[in-house]
Amino acid sequence: MFHICKIVIGISVQVVLLLSVAPVSAFEIDGSRWPTAETEFYVHMNGLAASGISWNTAFIAAMNDWNEATSFNFILREENRDPCANDGLNGVDFSDDFCGTSFGNSTLAVTVRRFDSAVLGEPTISQADIVINQTKQFNVYDGNLIQFGIQGLDFRRVALHELGHAIGLDHETNTNAIMAPNIGNLDRLQADDIAGAEKLYDGAINCVVQELGFGIISNALDAFDCTVSDLLPGSSDTSPIDLYRFELTNAAILNLSMSSATLDSVLLLADSNLQVIGFDNKSSNSCDSSLTQFLPPGSYFLMANTFDVPVKTECGISGEYQINASFNSDGQNPLGSATSLSGAAINASFSGGITANNGGSFGNKFNPNASLDISAQITIDPLHQGQAGFLVVAAAVDGQILLLNEQGQFVDLAANPGVITRAVNKTLSAVESITVVENLVPASLGISEMVVGFYFGYGLASNPDELYFHQAPLNLTVAP
């Protein structure tokens, strides 16, 4: 369920001396990962192996193997840091004991991982240190672990294994992998090791993601939805979750509320790495939740969530919900990703805004007496710049689609089905600015409440049936 975990320290232990393998894929992760797919590692170990290769060189080569084979990135810092210090820095060094505790007879190295609590999913890794058992004899070489004329155990493959723990991988039994619990003849990363790291850090979102349109969002959470464990591999949280993506090019204050008659509502805001930066869980007081959050420019997710085990019987863990989303921003913001009627790829971008103070701020929720200016900007696909084309403005209100004509009037699409009414015919520039209305006072038109979604697009005279536009509407909510 949605929960907060508190873990201070976790330890991944032992590479032992024997290995028995079977060719299966069975990478193991516990759900804990770094907030982003990279971390700094401090490496400065004195000495050379009998082969003449320094311990530093071998360890750095192991780091580079993970960097090159996976989407995780170890950032090298060639300085020494005490791996037993709880200092927020990742270090490695030799020692004759494990931070004051005796190594086991067959233990070659220990990786110590520290964690930060996480609102969603498992705790995140905040520090990973590696302590190498210097009472063991090491060397650096490729190939079989036991070779005529070569003394010692290959240090490089030990480093590969322990760095896998630092990434977030556990031991893998009965498989051909560096992450097998016992050291053996494998001296490089295997497909199973790489697959485990990619599962944690490939950036793929294994859930449907919708574009966030500010205003009112109606949806439902049930057993057919994506779960937190789908979203964050390795998590045990099976609560359903809906994701809405949005982007800000200007700082904004968001005001969000989630309400339901049957669902114990949980609202979350997360950054582009799915790290929660704000949440509200009002399960102790009501089934609803609300959240006000300042956000700098960036890419974000709004998440609608609940519990996998009921907390309040009157609320439940499935059912319909409604999100009311409004914002106040310093400028115009993006209107979702670009698309087209045919589904063709398009390298264009769309932004828009509504202001009641001549551009001093922008938002989407206004009172009926406000004087509103509504405008948008389209960055035209470079392939379309300089071509004869047209601009389109649409307004969706009460299930009706209205299109702005060249006379500045909105006409009902149903009156001319299949016809794309044009607001402007022109040669397309690199950037096109559109003014929908200026000084619109809803109350002067007898409007006290209204919800409108504006869409902006463009097309080419050479292909008049195609239209390029954005997926998230520019929302206008008028309310007392």
Residue 277 and residue 324 share a domain: yes
Domain boundary among 201, 231, 256: 201
Q: Which helix (H) or strand (E) holds 295?
A: strand 289-295
Residue 260 and residue 373 share a domain: no
Separation of alpha carbons 155 and 141, rounded Å: 8
- Is there a contact between 273 and 33 (Cβ–Cβ < 8 Å)? no
39: domain range?
Answer: 9-201
Residue 250 resides in a domain: yes
Phi first, then psi: give them for residue 192, nearest 5 degrees.
-70, -40
Query: How far, rounded to the nearest angstrom, does the alpha carbon of residue 285 sit from its chain's CA centroid?
Result: 30
Domain boundary among 270, 300, 329: 329
Does the predicted TM-score (pTM) go above 0.75? Answer: yes
Separation of alpha carbons 90 and 112, rounded Å: 9
- Arithmetic mean of pLDDT over the chain: 89
pLDDT at residue 283 greater than cutoff 70: no
CA dihedral 214, 216, 220, 226 (to 10 degrees): 0
Residue 252 and residue 197 share a domain: no
How many folded domains does the chain comprise? 3
15 — pLDDT class (breaks 50, 70, 90): very low
Residue 445 and residue 351 share a domain: yes
- Is there a contact between 70 and 191 (Cβ–Cβ < 8 Å)? no
Residue 1 resides in a domain: no
Domain boundary among 144, 171, 201: 201
- CATH of residue 385's domain is 2.60.40
Residue 416 and residue 315 share a domain: no
Residue 149 and residue 55 share a domain: yes
pLDDT in tens, 163-222: 999 999 988 877 789 999 888 899 999 999 999 999 888 877 889 999 999 999 999 999
Residue 143 and residue 17 share a domain: yes
Q: Got the DSSP string for 50-65?
A: TTS-BHHHHHHHHHHH
pLDDT at residue 68 greater than cutoff 90: yes
pLDDT at residue 295 greater than cutoff 90: yes
Separation of alpha carbons 18 and 147, rounded Å: 15
**24 token code pair:** 């299966």
pLDDT in tens, 31-43: 688 988 999 999 9
